[in-house]
Structure 1
Amino acid sequence: MTVRPMVNRDSQFFWDGTQVGELRIQVCNACGAKRFPPGPACQSCEAYDRGFEVASGEGTVFSYVVHRHPPVPGKELPIVIALVDLDEGVRMVGEVVGAGASDGDIAICDRLRVDYNRVDDDLTLPVWRKA
């Protein structure tokens, strides 16, 4: 069993993007402000005119944690979870795969690149790997 994200009309575009290998960021069509996580109204100008852009899929580790307990359904512990500063200027939380949980395996300012974990026909999760 995998913990599934909440998908709604504000985030559907993001999950549609992961299905086709795109990391999509919400953009306000009125003022151009970028936003993650997505929401109904722009936090800069309060417009409801939203679109998206496809991100480069690259970023830098702003912060991270190594999750060792409690267990997470469908995951083998430990899990490295990072707060990633995308090159486009927004932050995103995600799992870092391929990095162990030992000291020195991941560090603040490490460069990361997005990859995709196809869970099933309905869910593809973005994950991060060291660039």
Structure 2
Amino acid sequence: MADATRTSDLLKPHVDDDGKPFWDYAAAGELRIQACAECGELRFPPRPCCPHCQSFDSTWRRMSGKGRIWSYVLPHPPLLPAYAEFAPYNAIVVELADAPRIRLVGNLVSEAGAPPNSVDPARLRIGARVQVVFGEVGGQVLPQWVLERP
């Protein structure tokens, strides 16, 4: 687990009314995505109105947490001073297996709560299968990603 003093300055999500359920579910160890209660379309990031049918009714659908790396970057040097000690680290975009149009940003880590540099950058591959884990980073529970074991 990363030292809380080292992670206290890392970026944290801005939690608004629309996105609060996402973060509440994450804190409970569940990956859920907002879905329109009328037409069933999934949407991320969360928002008040469905872009497909304009309904304001929504539900939160539980996802399997499986996905694949759709894209990634290894910032050199880090763009923010709080990340300097972690360089090189990864930021990945994950395409969800059960919702391929939904993509989430996070870090590939060795285990839940590990720092963003805990996986050798040589292991990053577009298309690599990943599984969500939830770790506390700087006082906030975040979805993180680990490589799926064959």
- TM-score using structure 1 length: 0.89
One-letter amino acid of the structure 1 residue matched with residue 105 of structure 2: V
State the SS of the aligned residue for 1:96: coil
Shift of 1:20: 0.6
Give the structure 1 partner of residue 11 of structure 2: 3
Could you tell me which of 94, 112, 118 is aligned with 2:130?
Answer: 112
Residues 102-126 of structure 1, C-alpha deviations (whole Å, 9 max, x = no match): 3xx11111000011111366x2011
User: Which is helix-richer, 1 or 2?
Assistant: 2
Higher relative contact order (CA 8 A, sep 6+): 2
Distance in structure 2 (CA, Å) of the matches to 1:72 and 1:17? 30
SS at match of 2:143: strand
* Count of residues paired in the alignment: 128
In structure 2, the partner of 1:100 is 120
Shift of 1:70: 2.3
SS at match of 1:73: helix
Give the alignment's TM-score, normalised by structure 2. Answer: 0.79
1:60 counterpart residue number: 68
Which residue of 2 is the match for residue 124 of structure 1? 141
Deviations 1:1-21 (A, max 9, x none): 232111011100000011110
**Which of 50, 55, 79 is the equivalent residue of 1:70?**
79
Higher strand share: 1
The percentage of aligned residue pairs carrying the same residue is: 34
8 Å contact from structure 1 (residues 82, 94) kept in 2 = yes
Could you tell me which runs of 5 or more consecutive residues in structure 2 were left unpaired when the two chains were aligned.
1-8, 111-118
Residue 74 of structure 2: SS of its match in structure 1? strand
- C-alpha contact 1:80 1:100 (8 A) present in aligned 2: no
